[in-house]
Structure 1
Amino acid sequence: MASLTTLCPENGINIMSSYGYSLLGSFFLSALWGASTLQVFIYFMNSADSDPTAVNVLIACLWVLDTVNEILVLKSNWPVLILNYGKLAGLAEIQPELMHHIWVQSIVVFVVQMYFIRRIYTFGKLTFPGKSMAITMFAIPLALLATGRVG
């Protein structure tokens, strides 16, 4: 088995620590996107009729935003790894798609966290009468903290 140093040209640059991880992350993200797409498909085939229209719209919008996020991540690898392969000037540039990926994913994370907090509040009203608002107020800053750590 050849080592990584023998695979790289003698005067070349090893981009494994930057774009190698980005490409690997893109592969994992594609697998997760496929799993979430399957979940959305199964949801709309089986459970969409019993849920309110607002929940159906929320799930559809989140899936569209997740798809946009997937496209942005994959497109950010394209110029450096495919289109301008071997050109060193592209390695120093920050791809604008990665910047857009951060805010799109932050929106998805925030909306999902707020939906779960709403579910906790609703469940808390039934289980812990009078304490559900305290639990919700504790969870909201945690959700905002999780949104700020995306990227």
Structure 2
Amino acid sequence: MAGMDGGRPSIYPTLLCADAKAAVRQLTEAFGFTELSVYEAEDGTVLHAELVQGNGAVMLGSRGSGDAFDTAMHGTGPVGVYVVVDDVDAHHQRALEHGAEILVPPTDQDYGSREYLARDVEGNVWTFGTYAPEVSI
């Protein structure tokens, strides 16, 4: 696949969360991500987590660590992330069953995608849809 190196995505959205444990739980339970790794401090704070969906991944951690990334991200707001899924309606149903906040139900778009929008526990907006343009370099 174009843009891939040995099965590794070349772009990782990276989120800092007030409650990273709750974010990991929602992303895995409601939105079907798989935990690749979760590293915690002795007090249980999530230092770094990697979650995968299809051939993509997202990294997240806890706000307030004081490291350079946390400092650089201070005051930033939620982000939007697009995730390609095969069955939008089944994915949406799973999200509903886990209490996810749905902003827009599954809708067919003029550009050929079927997608829905949801907000996570941190306020980030996730679009789950079928639009998957071919990337060639």
TM-score (norm 1): 0.25
Task: Give the structure, 1 or 2, with the largest relative contact order (CA under 8 Å, sep 6 or more).
Answer: 2
Q: Which has the higher strand share?
A: 2
Q: TM-score, normalised by structure 2?
A: 0.27
